[in-house]
Amino acid sequence: MFAAVPLLALPVLIYNLIALTLPGAFMSAEAHARTTETLFTIHMTSRVDWAISLSDLLLAASLVVLFVELLKSTTSRKIAIINHSLSLVLFIGCLIEFLLAPAFATSTFFLITVMVLLDVLAGFIVTIVAARRDVDFGDN
């Protein structure tokens, strides 16, 4: 049953925890400032410092999770339909948060929302293509 849970709920949950720990919670506009603060820098061979923020780490982890979700969408088990449906519910929740709560009106959360949308679209498209392939149109 754990396979039915969309893994992209993890980055959304982490962003929600970051936003909820701010004073004013969902109505705080400080989420952008908190997520873009430099956590550490990496000295590149080009003699430039690469500043990495929480936002960068969250987006990188979200891309890895999106890759895993796309691999999961290729299965044609019955539980995949539940996963696609829950991903759609997650996308609707992300869209509502993005549009209505100031703490979620950031580029980071927008990109996470786009990743959830891509998961939904890829899941349904892969399922439709697999179902079409499974239908046999023989010349009997």
Residue 5: C-alpha distances to residues 1, 9, 36, 138 (Å):
8, 8, 29, 37
In a domain, 73, yes or no: yes
Number of domains in the chain: 1
- Kindly report, residue by residue over 88-134, the tens digit of the pLDDT: 999 999 999 999 998 899 999 999 999 999 999 998 888 777 766 65
Question: Is 140 contained in some domain?
Answer: no
Residue 137, in any domain of the structure? no
Asked whether residue 60 is assigned to any structural domain, the reply reads yes
Asked whether residue 122 is domain-assigned, the answer is yes
The answer, yes or no, to whether residue 82 has pLDDT greater than 80, is yes
User: Alpha-carbon distance 103 to 109, whole Å?
Assistant: 9
Radius of gyration of the chain (CA): 19
Judge whether residue 43 has pLDDT over 70: yes
Which residue in the block uniquely carries the two structure tokens 């990495």? 52
CA distances from residue 117 to 14, 37, 105, 111, 122 in whole angstroms, order as listed: 18, 27, 17, 10, 8
| Residue ranges making up the domain that contains 123 | 2-131
* Contact between residue 137 and residue 63 where contact means Cβ atoms under 8 Å apart: no
Supply the pTM of this predicted model. 0.86
139 within domain boundaries: no
Q: Is the pLDDT of residue 136 over 90?
A: no
